[in-house]
Amino acid sequence: MVYNDLEEVPKRYYTQYAGKNKANYGDFIMAFMDKLKEIGRKITESGTIVEEIKTKAKELNKKIVLCEGEDKRVVEAASVCTQERLARIVLLGNEEEIKKNNEGVDLSCIEFIDPATSPKLKDYAALLYELRKAKGMTEEQALEQAKDPTFFGALMLKNGDVDGLVSGACHSTANTLRPGLQIIKTAPGVSSVSSFNLMVAPATGNKYVPDGKIVFADCGLNPTYTAEGLADCAIATAKSAKEIAGLEPRVAMLSFSTMGSAKHDLVTLVQEATRIAKEKAPDLKIEGELQFDAAIVPEVAALKAPQSEVAGHANVFIFPDLQAGNIGYKIAERLGGFQAIGPICQGFAKPLNDLSRGCKADDIVCAVAITALQTR
């Protein structure tokens, strides 16, 4: 039903419900307006979380390279990031061509670098050769490879000429991650890179998510894990949850078993990963193995894991493999109404992030801000 007069909305609700609540019309209007304000606050909550991330990024003033100057969404995002002072932007590509193809977009204060004609190309090629000669790469191959914008961007990052890298708007994940793995490599003590999604609760809220946000991993990168790799993913995700989302991480290592309720090699892997994570990060609040309901529902946790300070109150959820993680975050999106921000890469020695090829300019802006925060 459509109401032409907005005053009719509370009147209609009052007619239906006020009698049984014994409320007078004035009190009802006040309660109704309070409810509208609460709904409005929740509707803007996901936007607020992104704005918080942007505000933190502005304070850092980091230099981020965007590797795909040929993509209009990337160019638009570069303009927004510069105008909002989220980061200092280096845009790779031919400056003349980029400006010609994006008339009307403010590209002032953006640094343009064409890898093919850059004065640093030979230096970067030499760096690439040193990194890859043991794998059989020749100097000629290194020079040719360094002209590739994503490799060039990764070499800039390796050399300390930028603080972070974002790519993947018009290239595959492999095209972004290959230079990352070959040039940037994993952080010290980390066995493998991983990814996480920041999951923002819907406008109507969720009683199990009082902070309005939780973190899922790994939802987009590693198909399978060793126990050590899963432990590293848990530790990295806890760090990301604190630095990016502002959460005090309480990590649940998920399984189809809770605290030994089932026996299986898959359960054993999660148990071993939990043990390793506790050894590597003794101050981290982490529990496993836990079923999802035991991890997030206090009443279930009281029955299944009564001694745990994490069970029933987890806000970081580590899935045992990519199948579970990818399915889980999409269920939360489609059936639970959560907004997924990510996947966001973690575990590299320096910040590097891969975009979805279906991304919008706003998604790229958010990725730049998150990448800036990962430099801390």
pLDDT in tens, 318-357: 999 999 999 999 999 999 999 888 889 999 999 999 988 8
pLDDT at 9 over 90: no
Q: In this structure, are strands 339-346 and 285-290 parallel, antiparallel, or unpaired?
A: unpaired
Rounded-to-integer distance, Cα 288 and Cα 305, Å: 10
Weakest-pLDDT range from 57-61, 190-194, 274-278: 190-194
Give me the phi and psi of 189, to 5 degrees please: 80, 0
Residue 211 pLDDT: 92
Give me the phi and psi of 201, to 5 degrees please: -60, 150
pLDDT at 10 over 90: no
Residue 242 pLDDT: 94
Could you confirm whether domain 194-345 is CATH 3.40.50.10750?
yes
Residue 158 pLDDT: 97
pLDDT per position as a tens digit, 125-164: 999 999 999 999 999 999 999 999 999 999 999 999 999 9
Report the sign of the C-alpha dihedral through residues 53, 55, 60, 61, in that order. positive
Rounded-to-integer distance, Cα 132 and Cα 250, Å: 40
> In whole numbers, what is the pLDDT of the chain averaged over residues?
89
Weakest-pLDDT range from 23-37, 74-88, 321-335: 23-37
Residue, of 42 and 197, whose pLDDT is higher: 197
Asked if 356 and 170 touch (Cβ cutoff 8 Å), the reply is: no
User: How large is the average pLDDT for residues 283-297?
Assistant: 97
Residue, of 316 and 192, whose pLDDT is higher: 316
User: Quick one: which of 363, 323, 372 has its CA closest to 343?
Assistant: 363
Class of domain 46-185+360-373: alpha beta
Can you list the alpha helix ranges (DSSP code H) found in the chain?
A: 8-21, 25-43, 45-60, 72-83, 95-101, 121-132, 139-146, 149-158, 173-179, 227-245, 265-280, 292-296, 298-304, 322-334, 361-373
35 falls in which pLDDT band (50, 70, 90)? low
Task: Please work out, in degrees rounded to the nearest 5, the angle formed at the alpha carbon of residue 249 by the alpha carbons of 274 and 184.
Answer: 75
Report the sign of the C-alpha dihedral through residues 346, 352, 356, 359, in that order. positive
What are the extents of the domains in the chain?
Answer: 46-185+360-373, 194-345
How is 101-138 classified by DSSP, letter by letter?
A: HTTTS--TTPEEE-GGG-TTHHHHHHHHHHHHGGGT--
User: How large is the average pLDDT for residues 281-310?
Assistant: 96
User: How large is the average pLDDT for residues 202-227?
Assistant: 92
Residue 294 pLDDT: 97
pLDDT at 259 over 50: yes
User: Quick one: which of 66, 24, 16, 47 has its CA closest to 352?
Assistant: 66
Asked if 57 and 368 touch (Cβ cutoff 8 Å), the reply is: yes
Two structure tokens written together for 78: 């570069």
Report the sign of the C-alpha dihedral through residues 119, 122, 125, 130, in that order. negative
User: Quick one: which of 225, 308, 222 has its CA closest to 260?
Assistant: 308
Can you list the alpha helix ranges (DSSP code H) found in 84-226?
A: 95-101, 121-132, 139-146, 149-158, 173-179
Count of positions (residues) in the chain: 376
Residue 218's SS3 state is coil
Q: Measure CA 366 to chain center.
A: 9
User: How large is the average pLDDT for residues 110-117?
Assistant: 97
Sheet holding 352-354, edge to edge: 111-113, 88-92, 63-66, 164-167, 352-354
Residue, of 10 and 251, whose pLDDT is higher: 251
Weakest-pLDDT range from 53-62, 77-86, 206-215, 350-359: 350-359
Residue 44 pLDDT: 43
140: burial class by Cβ within 10 Å (0-12, 13-18, 19+)?
exposed
Q: Do domains 46-185+360-373 and 194-345 have the same CATH topology?
A: yes
Whole-angstrom CA distances from 196 to 27, 36, 166, 343 are 45, 33, 16, 5
User: How large is the average pLDDT for residues 14-34?
Assistant: 56
> What pTM value is reported for the model?
0.79
Two structure tokens written together for 250: 């309480």
